[in-house]
Structure 1
Amino acid sequence: MKYRQLTKEQFESLHREFAQFLASQSIDVNEWNQIKQEKPHVAEEEMNIFSDIVWDDVLKRTEYLEHFSSNSINLFKCEDKKIYRIVIQINNDSINLMESKGYQWLLKNSLDSTVDILQGNKIYQRERNAEIFDLIEKGSNISKGELYEYFKGLITAS
């Protein structure tokens, strides 16, 4: 398995797609139920293959990631060969970026002396999707990139 198996909730939300996946292998509902009962290891393998297909599709389309903690934000732009990163570090214990109030404070005070903004980039050390998946497993969320582009604009303007 390349990534990890989808959760029960993810399988439920992709019920139709999973049924189509099974149908593409000439497995109907009755046969699937029989496989689950009599050959759970085969059912598990089918679920793993489907999970990898879904993850590959999601990851290849992922352009931006965000990871929040109470005093920092890591923003990633995922291109084909390189990943770009902007780190926003708040050096003020009274600001909590995990709360709306703290997040709003940051947007209004991005150039405050207690805000450090760093940037960098690197060529992927492993396959692109594997590195993005690793960031997601460590708590990053896929985003549309508005926050990354906002801070990129601030850095460029400085």
Structure 2
Amino acid sequence: MKYTRLPLKDLKDLEKEFVDFLAVNGIPADEWVKLKENDTQKVEGIIDQFSDVIWEGVLRKTELVELRRKDILTVCKVVEGELSTLVIKTYDENIDLTQADEIAKALANLENYEVNVRVDPITKLATEQLFELLQIGFYISKDAQYSELIDKLKK
């Protein structure tokens, strides 16, 4: 298995996609029922394969991940061969960078924050790097403003 198995809740939410996955892999509904009753090891393997397919699809569409802490916002942009990390830090205890409105204020007034961008080469696939970041607590972000800021600051 390349990634991790999806939680049961996610598997239930993806039931239609799973049925399609089984069909594409030549496993009709009646055979799936028999497999569940008689070959749990094979069932586990099929669920693992499905999880990897879903993860791969999500990760291929992902470019940014973020990690919010009260005093630090960390955003990583991953493209093949490169990991750009933006860190925005505040020393003001009244600011909470876990809140969207506080992040908006920070982005509008960067001069009031400690801001760093670091670019590191990576030798693994972008999908693998993103998955590792998700495993340590980052979550997927679609905020184009982050991407633009990273690109601007790393020049």
Alignment TM-score > 0.5, same fold: yes
The answer to whether residue 59 in structure 2 is matched with residue 48 in structure 1 is: no
Q: Deviations over 1:13-33 (max 9, x none)?
A: 221111111112221222212
> Aligned partners of 1:52 and 1:10: how far apart in 2?
13
In 1, distance between residues paired with 2:18 and 2:80?
A: 28
Q: Distance in 2 between matches of 1:141 and 1:6?
A: 15
* CA shift for structure 1 position 155: 3.5
| Partner SS state of residue 111, structure 1 | helix
Whole-Å Cα distance in 1 between the matches of residues 154 and 137 of structure 2?
28
What is the Cα deviation at residue 119 of structure 1? 0.4
2:135 maps to 137
Residue 117 of structure 2 corresponds to residue 123 of structure 1: no
Moved over 4 A (4+): none
Deviations 1:95-151 (A, max 9, x none): 111234533442443211xx1100011121433221110101112122223231353
Conserved? CA contact 2:62–2:140, under 8 Å = yes
**Number of paired residues?**
155
The equivalent residue for 1:86 is 86
1:12 maps to which residue? 12
Amino acid paired to 2:88:
I
Residue in structure 2 matched with residue 33 of structure 1 by the alignment: 33
| Identity %, equivalent residues | 25
User: Quick check: 120-129 or 43-52, which moved more?
Assistant: 120-129
Instruction: Give the gaps of 5 or more residues in structure 1.
Output: none
Q: Note closer, same or farther for the CA distance 1:61–1:14 as it changes in structure 2 (3 Å cut).
A: same
Once residues 3 and 9 of structure 1 are traced to their aligned partners in structure 2, the CA distance between those partners, rounded to angstroms, is 17
Residues of 2 paired with 1:156 and 1:132: CA distance?
Answer: 20
Cα shift at 1:153: 7.0
SS at match of 2:110: coil
Q: Secondary structure at the match of 2:140?
A: strand
The CA RMSD over aligned residues, in Å, is 2.1
Q: What is the correspondence of 1:67-82 to structure 2 with a 5 Å cutoff? A: 67-82=67-82
The range that moved more, 25-34 or 45-54, is 25-34
